[in-house]
Amino acid sequence: MRTARQPVGAVVRRLVPMAAVFLVTLYEYSPLFYITVVFVCFLVTSGLVLAWSGLGVPVILRNSEETESSARVLKKQMRQVKNPFGLEILHPATASLTKGITLTPDCLEDCIVTCYWGCSVQKLHEALQKHVYCFRIKTPQSLEDALYSEYLYRQQYFIKKNDKEEKHCQLPEDAQVVDFGPVPRSRYPLVALLTLADEEDREIYDIISLVAVIHVPDESYRLPCRILYQYLLLAQGQYHELKQLYMSANSTAASSSDTSPHERSTDRSLLEKAGLAEDEPELHEENSKDCVVCQNGTVNWVLLPCRHTCLCDGCIKYFQQCPMCRQFVQESFPLCSETEQDEDESTRILQEVLPGRVF
Ligand SMILES: [Zn+2]
Ligand SMILES: [Zn+2]
The domain segmentation of the chain, as residue ranges, is 16-55, 87-242, 252-345
Distance of CA 310 from the midpoint of ligand 1 (Å): 8
From the list 197, 195, 213, the residue with the least C-alpha distance to 116 is: 213
Give the bridge partners for 295, in sequence order: none
Class of domain 252-345 (CATH, top level): alpha beta
Name the burial class of residue 162, with classes exposed (0-12), middle (13-18) and buried (19+) by CB atoms within 10 angstroms of its CB: middle
State how far the Cα of 310 lies from the Cα of 146, in Å rounded to an integer. 41
Q: pLDDT digits over 103-135, tens only?
A: 999 999 999 999 999 999 999 999 999 999 999
* Ligand 1 centroid from CA 284, angstroms: 17
Indicate the burial class of 350 (C-beta count within 10 angstroms; 0-12, 13-18, 19 or more). exposed
With contact defined as beta carbons under 8 Å apart, do 300 and 283 qualify? no
- Report CA(326)–ligand 2 centroid distance (Å): 6
Q: Residues of the chain with pLDDT > 90: what percent?
A: 45
- Label residue 349 exposed, middle or buried (CB < 10 Å: 0-12, 13-18, 19+): exposed
Give per-residue pLDDT as tens, 72-86. 678 888 888 889 999
List beta partners, residue 337: none
**Separation between Cα atoms, residue 226 and residue 88, nearest integer Å:** 9
Q: How far is the CA of 282 from the centre of ligand 1 (A)?
A: 20
Per-residue model confidence as pLDDT tens digits over 347-356: 333 333 333 3
Kindly state the DSSP code that residue 20 receives in the 8-state scheme. Answer: H
Distance in Å, CA 285 to ligand 2 centroid: 23
The per-residue pLDDT for range 213-266, each reduced to its tens digit, is: 999 998 888 889 999 999 999 999 999 999 888 886 554 443 333 333 333 333
The sign of the torsion formed by the CA atoms of 252, 258, 261, 262 equals negative
What dotted CATH number matches 87-242? 2.60.40
- What is the DSSP code (8-state) at residue 312? -
Q: How far apart are CA 274 and CA 340, in angstroms?
A: 23
Q: Report d(CA 27, CA 29) in Å as an integer.
A: 5
CA of 77: how far to CAs of 149, 306, 328, 337, in Å? 39, 17, 19, 11
Identify the nearest ligand to the CA of 321 by its number: 2
- Report how far apart, in Å, the C-alpha atoms of 228 and of each of 38, 40, 211 are: 78, 75, 11
